[in-house]
Structure 1
Amino acid sequence: MENIIKIYDNAIGISFQWTHIETDLTQIIFRDIGFHLSEEELELFTDKITEAKFQKQCKNCDMGPNCKSILLQTPLSKVTLAVSLSELQQIEDLLKGTLFQVKLNKYINDICKN
């Protein structure tokens, strides 16, 4: 873990940047999935979560709150994830926390350059 700079984490995952790679991309990992995303893609992913919240949930489902009936579109147009409502909320927290920290770091770095 010494090759990363942790940005944000919660119960479902972690976001970080690699120290040995010169890039503005952020690594987001949750469940067993990893995404390497730009700030714009992080914002797009957050928008996709907002859209997914309007999907109808299963009624009388035997799986209850663990039902993965929500289809979450990712910034990669050919990749969609099946998630539960609780996972969707945790992914949203992970992405919003990451975006906040990325933008804050960028702002602080810009101020320190001047």
Structure 2
Amino acid sequence: MESITKIYDNKIGISFQWKENKSNLIQIIFRDTGFHLQEREIEEFLEKVMDSKQQKNCDTCIKGKHCKSILLQTPSDKISLAVSLVELRQIDDLLRGTLFQLRMNNYLKDICKN
């Protein structure tokens, strides 16, 4: 863990940057999937999470909130994920927390320059 700078984590995953990363890509990992994203792509991913929250799911499903019946588009047009409502909420928190922390860090860097 010495080679990374953690940005945010929750029950489903973690976001971090490699310390030797020169491209400003943020690594977001949840479940068994890792994404290398720029800040604008994280914002786009968050919009797709919001769109997925509008999907109608089967109310009679035995698994309820844990049924992986929600199709979540990713910033890549070639990748979609099947997630549950519980996972979708956790992914939402992971992305929002990551963006908040990135923006807070940038704000503090700007203040410290003065």
Q: In the aligned structure 1, how far is the partner of 2:104 from the partner of 2:81? A: 29
User: Which amino acid is 1:14 matched to?
Assistant: I
User: Which amino acid is 1:73 matched to?
Assistant: Q
Structural mapping, 1:1-114, within 5 Å: 1-114=1-114
Shift of 1:60: 1.4
User: Which amino acid is 1:71 matched to?
Assistant: L
Where structure 1 has 5 or more consecutive residues not aligned to the other structure, the ranges are: none
Deviations 1:27-54 (A, max 9, x none): 0000000001101001001111110010
User: Which amino acid is 1:53 matched to?
Assistant: K
Q: In the aligned structure 2, how far is the partner of 1:62 from the partner of 1:37? A: 35
Q: In the aligned structure 1, how far is the partner of 2:48 from the partner of 2:65? A: 21
| 3-state SS in 2 of match to 1:29 | strand
Q: In the aligned structure 1, how far is the partner of 2:58 from the partner of 2:33? A: 24
With normalisation by structure 2, the TM-score equals 0.95
What is the aligned residue count? 114
Q: In the aligned structure 2, how far is the partner of 1:111 from the partner of 1:60? A: 52
Runs of 4+ in 1 over 3 A off after TM superposition: none
